[in-house]
Structure 1
Amino acid sequence: MISALNKLVDLVEEHLAEELDIDGVAAGLGTTEYHLRRMFSSLAGMPLSEYVRRRRMTVAAADVVRGERDLLGIAVRYGYGSSEAFGRAFRAVHGAGPSDVRRDGGPLRTQPQLRFRLTVEGSVPMDTRLVDRPAFRLVGHATRVPLIHQGVNPHIQEHIAALPQEEHLRLKSLSNSEPAGLLQVSADVDPDGTEGSELTYLHGVALSRDTPAPDGLDAIEVPAGMWAVFRTSGPHPQALQTTWAATATEWFPSNPWQLRPGPSIVTTLDRAPDFTTATCELWLPVEPS
């Protein structure tokens, strides 16, 4: 995976002035666009689209400062249909318009070319099992929330808190399939993992495929497939988020599996009364790489 990401970076550099066919690139590298985007954003700390924009504007800045072309010519060279569209992208990266930078020589914010390296430290123990599951369905109460990478997501907290206690108990009694118990389900996640992008969050349980969803509950159909299940324990939600990040930095680069589209699921096995610590399982849909 590390070599595939570095090849992707090289291809971005070769095609800065044009749109890159990420799906075709992924196929050529023996992976999928979904997995490639997820791993890139997890390891780089930014979506692939943002990295491309920053690199494009970094290189374009040299043309702007040199003044050998007019601004429209530079805009066209880097794939923009107008100097206004180019100017907006340029300002978003550098904090100043191209005319100002041409006059003053700055300010400029450079995005260095990335290079991925795998450092094996064993800093995060990866207690993992692989599970082959038949198709099942997730049922519960769903809502749309923004993606927040670090700390508690207040929108999810508000959604759960709005459910009466008897509804939590009813949901738990419906569970008849793995993953067991009350589940935190994230679906329709942006493959780039952009902070603030919307996802579907479902608070519910897993049912076997032949169990109908009760009236009044939202449902997500989950196809048959393999799952990597990571057990986490410690301060909550920090331990869970640390393990989630480590799947990208340590587990996937070291194992012959890749993410496939589908929901990610968290089930709580044990927790302190105030939920400051917890033992959880993180279920991620995977396929052979």
Structure 2
Amino acid sequence: MEWLERMNRAISYIEDNLEQDIDYDQIAKIALCSVYQFQRMFSFVLDVPLSEYIRRRRLTLAAFDLKDRKNTVMDIALKYRYESPEAFSRAFHNLHGMTPTLARNAGSELRAYPRISFQIILKGVTGMNYRMEKRDAFQVYGLEDIYHYDTIANEAGVTIPEVWQNICKNGEFERLAQSVSGAWRDEGNFSKELGAVFAFDAYTFTSNTTFPYLIGCYRAPGSQVNGYTVVDVPASTWAVFSTLHDGNGSGKYDLQSLKNRIFSEWLPTSTYTILDGGNFEMYGTSADGYEYCELWYRVGE
């Protein structure tokens, strides 16, 4: 249960510093992981970005402070790290649906977001299938960009789902798929059901608020890599999870639910730690014709 203890200590640090500048590096140090890994675990389990949780908690406490009329809006804005009363008022209105001034009135209906805690919740006897893969170092290549963690968008404001849609429309996806050597599955010891194009992310540090994301392929002898970014994948042990075994058999898989289960059920009770160095989303079609996704996480003990 060490994972739960570390995550809850990190939450305690956040709660103790809502009136201060919160150091994401310190959060990661407490949780014994990288900033990116902590943000990802947090959002997968709670379905809300870490920055949004902090914003909600500050504005929840700000609403309580407004009931004391001795506190000015300026004082409260500065207390919760807003640069101006105007910025605070906008954020407050977005969350509570009214201005700070109106919130002082008796009978005002406000929203409260309580402090969270990480726990193991018994959800029945539904098993979770996974497999372990040990692989030597290899290379992947493809279309790379840097994305902001909170928005999942690049500098141009284009989100990852939009990028996939764009490359399918403009022919980039097909050109990428055709660049692969026909023997890549045998070379890389991959299932015959997997498609040639996959996603690979967080394989190198870019910043505490961004991550690299590559839409690409396995580099086998004969692959045409000119014009693409080539990335080294270190020798690793991988924990592999599939939506094919986690859904309802309809072929309409729920990737977010699977990620939630990995971080809220599997990781807290396993002997493994998810490491930096890259994670894969590989897409396939089963023999029954169902589309599915495999999530590959680099792990250590």
TM over 0.5: yes
In 2, Cα distance between equivalents of 1:101 and 1:53? 17
* Structure 1 residue 99 displacement after superposition: 1.7
Q: Secondary structure at the match of 2:119?
A: coil
In 1, Cα distance between equivalents of 2:173 and 2:77? 56
* Structure 1 residue 252 displacement after superposition: 0.9
Q: CA separation of 1:59/1:240 partners in 2, compared to 1, >3 Å: closer, same or farther?
A: closer
Alignment partner for residue 171 of structure 1, among 180, 184, 189? 180
In 2, Cα distance between equivalents of 1:188 and 1:32? 11
Structure 1: gaps (5+ residues) = none
* Structure 1 residue 47 displacement after superposition: 1.0
Q: CA separation of 1:206/1:113 partners in 2, compared to 1, >3 Å: closer, same or farther?
A: same
Q: CA separation of 1:178/1:267 partners in 2, compared to 1, >3 Å: closer, same or farther?
A: farther
Task: State whether residues 127 and 232 of structure 1, in contact with CA within 8 Å, keep that contact through their aligned partners in structure 2.
Answer: no
Residue 50 (structure 1) aligns with = 52
* Structure 1 residue 55 displacement after superposition: 0.8
Task: State whether residues 156 and 201 of structure 1, in contact with CA within 8 Å, keep that contact through their aligned partners in structure 2.
Answer: no
Please give the residue correspondences for 1:22-171 in structure 2 after superposition, counting only pairs within 5 Å.
Answer: 22-103=24-105, 106-121=108-123, 124-141=126-143, 147=152, 153=161, 155-160=163-168, 162-163=171-172, 168-171=177-180
Q: CA separation of 1:73/1:254 partners in 2, compared to 1, >3 Å: closer, same or farther?
A: same
Residue 258 (structure 1) aligns with = 273
1:227 aligns with 2:242: no
1:243 aligns with 2:258: yes
Greater CA drift, 138-147 or 65-74 = 138-147
Deviation per CA, 1:43-99: give whole Å up to 9, x if none: 111111111111111111111122112111222222233222222222222122212
Task: State whether residues 10 and 30 of structure 2, in contact with CA within 8 Å, keep that contact through their aligned partners in structure 1.
Answer: no
1:271 aligns with 2:280: no
Identical-residue share of aligned pairs (%):
27
What is the TM-score normalised by the length of structure 2?
A: 0.75
Q: Secondary structure at the match of 1:227?
A: strand
Q: CA separation of 1:153/1:235 partners in 2, compared to 1, >3 Å: closer, same or farther?
A: farther
Q: CA separation of 1:227/1:155 partners in 2, compared to 1, >3 Å: closer, same or farther?
A: same
Q: CA separation of 1:213/1:224 partners in 2, compared to 1, >3 Å: closer, same or farther?
A: farther
Deviation per CA, 1:103-142: give whole Å up to 9, x if none: 4653411112212221233665332222333332212345
In 2, Cα distance between equivalents of 1:170 and 1:26? 39
CA root-mean-square deviation: 3.6
